C-alpha cells in the first residue's frame, strides 16, 4: 500500500511539473516590431508588441530587447500597461475607438503613439538610471465638440504647457505654464494610458 502511495505522489509531482513547463506565453500574436539604438551603443535594439488574442480583453505586451555585438538580444523591460487592451470592457462591451498607432525609435528615445477616437497621445521613454523612464508626454484631443485641448509635458524639466483651441478657429488660449516635478520619473512598466491626469 505504501508503495502505491509513493508511486502516486511521484506521478502527481511529475505531471504537475510537466504542466508548468508546458504553459505557453499567452501573448503569442505579433503586432509590430521596430529596431533602433536605444542605449547609444550604435547597435540596433528592438521593441516587440504582442497580443493575447484568447483573453476577452485582448491585452498587449510591449517588450524591449538590447542587442549585443554577437547579434543576440537581452530582454530589458516589459510592460502590459503602456498599451491599453483592445477590448477594455471585454469582447461583448463597446469599443472605445482608442488603439496603438505605432512605435518608433528616434535619437535613442522610444516613442509610443496612441490614437484616440478624436485625438492622439504620445509617450516618450529614455533608457536612464537602469530603466526606461518617461521623459515626455503630449496629447491633442477634443475636450468637447468645440474645444481642442493640447498638452505638452516635459517630465525631465517638469514644464507642462496646455493650450485650448476652438474648432474651426485659429484662436488659441494658452493656460499658465505649470512646473510639476515628478521624481523618480515613471518607468515604462508602470505607465498606463487614461489612468493619470498628468500623463
All cell numbers assigned to 47: 521593441
The half-sphere exposure of 136 on its side-chain side, counting CA atoms within 13 A, is 11
* pLDDT value, residue 15: 44
E strand segments, 37-158: 45-51, 60-67, 73-79, 99-106, 109-116, 119-128, 131-144, 147-154
pTM: 0.84
CB 145, CB 135: distance < 8 Å: no
Walk across the sheet containing 73-79 and list its strands. 29-36, 45-51, 60-67, 73-79
Percentage, residues of the chain above pLDDT 90: 74
pLDDT tens digits along 21-80:
445 789 999 999 999 999 999 999 999 999 999 999 999 999 999 999 999 999 999 999
Residue 88 in 3-state DSSP?
A: coil
Residue ranges per structural domain of the chain: 25-179
Amino acid at each position: 500500500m505504501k508503495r502505491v502511495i509513493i508511486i502516486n505522489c511521484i506521478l502527481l509531482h511529475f505531471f504537475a511539473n510537466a504542466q508548468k513547463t508546458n504553459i505557453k506565453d499567452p501573448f503569442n500574436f505579433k503586432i509590430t516590431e521596430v529596431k533602433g539604438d536605444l542605449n547609444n551603443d550604435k547597435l540596433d535594439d528592438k521593441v516587440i508588441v504582442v497580443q493575447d488574442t484568447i483573453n476577452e480583453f485582448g491585452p498587449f505586451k510591449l517588450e524591449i530587447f538590447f542587442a549585443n555585438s554577437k547579434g543576440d538580444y537581452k530582454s530589458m523591460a516589459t510592460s502590459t500597461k503602456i498599451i491599453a487592451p483592445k477590448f477594455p470592457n471585454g469582447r461583448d462591451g463597446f469599443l472605445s475607438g482608442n488603439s496603438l498607432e505605432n512605435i518608433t525609435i528616434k535619437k535613442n528615445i522610444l516613442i509610443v503613439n496612441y490614437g484616440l477616437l478624436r485625438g492622439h497621445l504620445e509617450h516618450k521613454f529614455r533608457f536612464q538610471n537602469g530603466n526606461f523612464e518617461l521623459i515626455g508626454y503630449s496629447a491633442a484631443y477634443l475636450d468637447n465638440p468645440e474645444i481642442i485641448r493640447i498638452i505638452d509635458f516635459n517630465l525631465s524639466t517638469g514644464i507642462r504647457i496646455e493650450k485650448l483651441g476652438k474648432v474651426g478657429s485659429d484662436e488659441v488660449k494658452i493656460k499658465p505654464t505649470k512646473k510639476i516635478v515628478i521624481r523618480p520619473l515613471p518607468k515604462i512598466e508602470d505607465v498606463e494610458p487614461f489612468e493619470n491626469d498628468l500623463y
